[in-house]
Amino acid sequence: MTAPLVLQGRRALVTGASRNLGAAVARALAAEGARVALNFRQSASEAHEVLDSLTGSGHLLVAGDVGTVLGADAVVAEVERSAGLVDVLVNNAGPFSMTPYLQLDPEEFDAIWKANLRSVYLVTRRVAPGMLAAGWGRIINISAGSAFVRNHSVYSLAKEAVITLTEQLALELGPAVTVNCVAPGQIAESAEEMSRIDPDFVNTVMSRTPAGRLVTRAEVAGIVVALCSTTFDMVTGVTIAVDGGGHLPVA
């Protein structure tokens, strides 16, 4: 006999799902039976490719900027209209920046903060009432290893704030809804892209990682799915660093 699917019959919304980690999370949720709504802001063609790759049926694409009130409300409203109330929310949207603060344009600060942190608040604010009414919900916020360092500018600031917001939401939304956070370290598939920004970064991370390698997108997505399972019913307000121990302080 095959094991029952973890998310059979559940409806999931993944923000920033047109590529990279968001796409991997969407595939993992669909593989466990969820009907997945893929949110994207600009990358329509990439989002369609992800949609076509999902296991199962009934998945949908929802365009919109979830960092704005109107955008977040419109995205959730479309999901509810097309699929029903959201059971699982993965707040994954969020571009990267490591521009030093004294060189950082205020508009870039606002854009990074809005996409990485404000979107978590706005989308959660919109879906949480339905989860509470249903008596069940799972919210997983994607932070980053950058939350544990101090040289990634406003991105570090926003990703650390996501951890604090996760803890606060866990207190507000329990017991029906669990709210957890996943903080991936440098992801293997994105190492080349990161090296173009900082040529020394990947080697530095590898030298400080007890596991001796970088984490993969599939491994991070697996943690997201696990947090939706009954095994993790008593886990809320927690941040899981998925980085092979790379965040540990080195003397």
Cα atoms found within 13 Å of the Cα of residue 222, Cβ hemisphere only: 6
Which residue among 155, 156, 162, 163 is the active-site one?
Answer: 155
Q: Which of 168, 171, 115 lies closest to 144 in space, CA to CA?
A: 115
Tell me whether strands 177-184 and 239-242 are parallel, antiparallel or unpaired: parallel
Structure tokens at 87: 């059971």
Residue keyed to tokens 């993965």:
90
Residue with tokens 């571009």: 95
Query: Do 126 and 120 touch, CB atoms closer than 8 A?
Result: no
Q: 155 an active-site residue?
A: yes
Radius of gyration for the chain, computed over Cα atoms and rounded to the nearest angstrom? 17
| C-alpha closest to that of 184 among 154, 148, 141, 220 | 220
Whole-number Cα distances in Å, 154 to 43, 55, 70: 24, 36, 24
CB atoms near residue 106 (< 10 Å): 7
Q: Which of 162-175 are b and which e, b meaning 16 or more Cβ less than 10 Å from the residue's Cβ?
A: bbebbeebbeebee
| Residues classed as catalytic | 155
